[in-house]
Amino acid sequence: LERHGRLHLPAGTAERATARLRALPQPFTVGECCRALGTSRAHGLPLLESLDQRGHTVRDPDGRRRALP
């Protein structure tokens, strides 16, 4: 859920999403993330940015991401 430009995730959402992303070949694209999570790019990108900020994922210079252990 996005409010005032900030993403508010229900408890456990970040952990469940990260677990799914760890199963992807690393690094992964935004599109691969969205397919794995069954969401649109409009929702997947803010989620990835939130996961980056929380330290669950890291963005590579080429824009792909890696799920951290």
Q: Which domains does the chain have, with CATH numbers?
A: 11-61 (1.10.10)
**Residue 35: CA atoms inside 13 Å, Cβ hemisphere, count?**
8
Q: Is the pLDDT of residue 2 over 60?
A: no
User: Which tens digits make up the pLDDT trace of 20-63?
Assistant: 999 999 999 999 999 999 999 999 999 999 999 999 999 999 99
pTM of the complete model: 0.86
Enumerate residues 6+ apart whose C-beta is below 8 A from 69: 22
